[in-house]
Amino acid sequence: MQRILIKNGQVVDPANERDGIYDVLLEQGQVAAISENISVDGAEIIDAEGCIVAPGFVDLHCHLREPGQEYKEDVASGTRAAIRGGFTSLVAMPNTEPAIDSEAAVRSMAEIISEKAAARVYPAGAITRGQKGRDLTEMGGMMQAGAVAFTDDGLPVTSSRVMQLALQYSDMLGVPISVHEEDPDLAGDGVVNRGRISTLLGLPAIPTAAESAMVARDLELCREFGGHLHIAHVSTRNSIDLIRKAKDEGLKVTCEVTPHHLTLTEDLVRESNYDTNTKVNPPLRTSTDVEALVNALSEGIVDVIATDHAPHSFDDKDKEYIFADFGISGLETAFSLLHDQLVLKGDITMNRLIAALTVVPATIFDLPGGTLSQGEPADLVILRPQDEWAVNPDDFVSGGKNTPLAGWSLTGRVDTVLVAGRIMMRDGELQC
Ligand SMILES: [Zn+2]
């Protein structure tokens, strides 16, 4: 494999506390050297002056829809969307059709990935068979086949007893259990956050307690039975307060928040005139919640940003608000949205943003990459923080054009992406 030399970029590599102008040399698909003014013979040069050079992003939560729902997305389109967003590693949720709930299912997913994926994809396995919430899957065998975490995401684990057992296996096997926290009785058939907007619009509501009551339960279970509890898509201030307390106590709990919950509020449902692309689960919350999430991200109480990329077909969203599917196609806008809305406004530093997208997710799920240390995989992004672009869902390579950001102008763009030293996108143009 050829040598690539990335010159004069601002290297931001939080794992090594590096932030400055350096050259980066890639050889044999690995990071070979980082220092000032490297010169070597026979290397392809990429000029990164004015750009940020960072580890490729690692997404702990995305839905690639394959097998079974390829009309929404498949591994090829989803991973190309990931590359456009700067993500070089993804954890794929197992709520496919059928669910990834056995060793054989993990193996067949691994085959699809090796045939089609443009980025690294790590399958997550289901906690329960068929994600029905009753019988635990064979986690040990599924891990041997390549599952990196277990989750019934899309659905909560309603049985406390099943959750207890899952955490006990998590403890024994050293694997994270990622939980979608939602009390289904409280959430009912709600479609927006319970509060001012649900009242104004007369839409069925999901109370914040639907999330935080389940967070409280699972923290109690984690305290008593151990395991690594990873709380997916946290969306409320009350959940943050509970997680903060549990972390202070030293429980093995980590959590993620999505780009949309960090930047958008329930007001967008009204302002967009009931655009069903604002319909997401958990729902967009209030500015008080958003502020708590952003502060918690800044402090490290929120460990990582994960997209919960949830692509849907046009028809799935082209319905009355109450009937449309939940979810946002988020991979292609994540970095730009976060940079535009949080970094440029001074709420989060660039260093913290990149850490929450790279080394921290890689570390908590024990995945390769996330750093530019010598010998690590040459998974990199080159970012143009000054570039402004307008979001046009028709340009998405994801099968899901469902974004509430259509027409938004965002500052900050992913320019070039490498996976294992291969250029997958260059100057904003996909090469895969
Ligand atoms: Zn979920």
The tally of CA atoms less than 13 A away on the side-chain side of residue 131 is 20
Cα 327–Cα 87–Cα 365 angle in degrees, nearest 5: 85
Distance 158 CA to ligand 1 centre (A): 14
CATH number of 3-53+377-397+405-430: 2.30.40.10
Spell out the residues 6+ positions from residue 161 whose beta carbon is closer than 8 angstroms to its own: none
CA nearest 153: which of 71, 219, 62?
62
pLDDT tens sequence across 184-215: 999 999 999 999 999 999 999 999 999 999 99
Structure tokens that stand for 386 in this block: 């000054």
Is-contact 151 232, C-beta < 8 A? yes
- Say which residues have a Cβ less than 8 Å from residue 66's Cβ, sequence separation at least 6: 73, 74, 75, 78, 96, 112
**Cα of 233 to ligand 1 centre, how many Å?**
7
Longest CA–CA separation in the chain, Å: 67
Cβ–Cβ < 8 Å for 120, 365: no
Task: Report how far ligand 1's centroid is from the alpha carbon of 30 (Å).
Answer: 34
What's the 231 CA to ligand 1 centre distance in angstroms?
10
- Tens digits of per-residue pLDDT, 243-302? 999 999 999 999 999 999 999 999 999 999 999 999 999 999 999 999 999 999 999 999
Mean pLDDT for the chain overall: 97
Cα distances from 421 to residues 126, 207, 236, 417, 425, in angstroms, run 32, 46, 39, 9, 12
Tell me the pLDDT band of 2, cut-offs 50, 70 and 90: confident
Distance of CA 289 to the CA centre of its chain: 19
Q: Please, what is the end-to-end C-alpha distance for the chain in angstroms?
A: 17
326 close to 260: Cβ distance less than 8 angstroms: no
Q: Are 324 and 316 within 8 A, CB to CB?
A: yes
The answer to whether 354 touches 370, Cβ cutoff 8 Å, is no
The rounded distance, in Å, linking the Cα atoms of 256 and 323 is 27
CA of 361 to the centre of ligand 1 (A): 17
> Ligand 1 centre and the CA of 152: distance in Å?
8
Q: State in words which class domain 56-364 has.
A: alpha beta
Which tokens hold the place of 296?
Answer: 């918690």
Rounded distance, CA 339 to CA 11, Å? 16
Portion of the chain with pLDDT greater than 90, in percent: 100
User: Ligand 1 centre and the CA of 93: distance in Å?
Assistant: 9
Rounded CA-CA distance 189/357 in Å is 33
Is 308 noted as a catalytic residue in this protein? Answer: yes
Peptide bond into 204 cis (omega under 30): no
In the set 289, 308, 379, 415, the catalytic residue is: 308
Question: pLDDT of 377-432, one tens digit each?
Answer: 999 999 999 999 999 999 999 999 999 999 999 999 999 999 999 999 999 999 99
Tokens 């390829």 locate to 70
**What is the Å distance from ligand 1's center to 154 Cα?**
4
Alpha-helical regions (H) of 340-425? 350-357, 359-364
Tens of pLDDT, residues 135-159: 999 999 999 999 999 999 999 999 9
CA of 22 to the centre of ligand 1 (A): 39
Domain positions in the chain are 3-53+377-397+405-430, 56-364
Q: Is 70 exceeded by the pLDDT of residue 1? A: no
If you measure from the C-alpha of residue 208 to the centroid of ligand 1, how many angstroms do you get, rounded to a whole number? 15
Cα separation, 73 vs 91, whole angstroms: 15
Q: How far apart are CA 319 and CA 314, in angstroms?
A: 9
Question: Does this model's pTM top 0.95?
Answer: yes
Is the torsion defined by CA of 264, 269, 272, 274 positive or negative? positive
Could you list the beta-strand ranges (E) of 63-141: 87-92, 120-123
Structure confidence at residue 310 (pLDDT):
97
Query: Residue 95 Cα, ligand 1 centroid: separation in angstroms?
Result: 10
Alpha-carbon distance values, 103 to 115, 154, 160, 223, 377 (Å):
19, 21, 25, 29, 27
Report the C-alpha gap between 360 and 306 in whole angstroms.
Answer: 11
